[in-house]
A = this chain, B = another copy of it.
Amino acid sequence: MTLTIGIIGAGRIGKIHVDNLRGIQQVRVKSVSDVVIEHLESWAVEKHIEVLTTNYYDILKDPEIDTVFICSPTNTHANIIKEAALAGKHIFCEKPVSFTIEETEEALEVVKKAGVKLQVGFNRRFDSNFRKIRHLVQDGQIGNPHILRITSRDPQPPGVDYIRSSGGLFMDMTIHDFDMARYIMDSEVVEVYASGAVLVDLAIGEAGDIDTAVITLKFANGALGVIENSRRAAYGYDQRLEIFGDKGAAHADNNRANTVEVSTAEHVTKEKPLYFFLERYTQAYIDEVKEFAAAILGNQPVICSGFDGIQAERIAKAASQSLETGVPVKLEQVGRSTATY
């Protein structure tokens, strides 16, 4: 049995998925669509893409294709999800599913009715450090969790134009951390308090966003959590996590390009963290599509469902409201839904 795949949107992340899918047995990447395709032609030949089109309906209508990857801009996701689901395709959709809870809920209901599989692209769930911690928690080696801490800092902020259309720090960047919080804790977030500041670049503040945040979470299991964000860490991509429970704690440090430590008269140095997500999560990107393919081929649940997607969005929304109002916000006040998609 072979999975035949169409890719909708061939930007940076779409191309990464093509490369990673090509390394999987039982997978055939047949078609790619994008709004402009001239610059993609030699790339498509080299990657043995059979169909390159500006019209993604060419993918949705193709009966050979059973699975689509939605890698187009966020504001197109919800609509294409619905169309793909109605066309009976399994769906891998980049995060976030949409910018509004309502749109996401609508899209997921269509997916649910269609009975197709949908995986949301929270790639960090597949990182070997965080997976190890998830397993330790599930195995009870940390005991009952008491405090979760996530440190998540980018090496450089995106351009202000990107920020303006990003949905804001919480929806664009912290949404990964909100998903990670649920993944590690295996319990829902029930309340969020967000404090934020503009400390990296005043232009980000002028664009109506923040670049620095400390967010407190309360979980249904009674535990507490905290997320620290910055749009710019001078030393590179900072992706750490610690879970503390009644039997102990587990901490995931950053990855580095090598293990070398150098001692001189001036200081003792080691390598900085890997620069950004493409370096840090190289293997996670490979594993997320490999396991997505395996889930479809084996008719198993996906690791990261539509419900996971919507819950992360609800927490992001609650964080935004908290930042605006200056007080904690309960998750039950955000979105209408606790149904599993």
Contact = CB atoms under 8 A, between A and B. Distances in A.
Given A234-B264, A268-B272, A144 B199 contact: yes
Interface stretch (A52-60, A80-88, A216-224): A216-224
Contacts of A262: 136, 141-142, 248-251
Interface stretch (A31-39, A104-112, A146-154, A304-312): A146-154
Contacts of A230: 146-147, 244
Number of copies: 4
Interface in A215-273: 216, 218, 222-226, 228, 230, 232-235, 238, 244, 246-255, 257-265, 267-273
A223 B247 contact: no
A225 B228 CA distance: 9
A235 B214 contact: no
B249 A253 contact: no
A126 interface: no
A68 interface: no
A340 to B, nearest CB: 27
Nearest to A214: B224
Contacts of A153: 244
A contact residues, range: 35 or more
Contacts of A129: 258-260
A149 B260 contact: no
Interface string A129-162: 1011100100001111011010101000000000
A269 B267 contact: yes
Residue among A132, A225, A263 with the highest chain B CB neighbour number at 10 A:
A263
Contacts of A146: 197, 199-200, 212, 230
A269 B268 contact: yes
A251 to B, nearest CB: 5
A230 B144 CA distance: 13
Contacts of A141: 262, 264
B253 A261 contact: yes
Given A193-B195, A199-B146, A224-B197, A265 B247 contact: yes
Closest 7 CB pairs of A and B: A248-B264, A235-B263, A253-B259, A234-B265, A267-B269, A214-B224, A129-B258
Given A193-B195, A252-B258, 4 more contacts: A142-B262, A146-B199, A247-B264, A250-B260
Interface of A: 25, 46, 128-129, 131-133, 136, 141-144, 146-147, 149, 151, 153, 193, 195-197, 199-200, 212-214, 216, 218, 222-226, 228, 230, 232-235, 238, 244, 246-255, 257-265, 267-273, 326-328
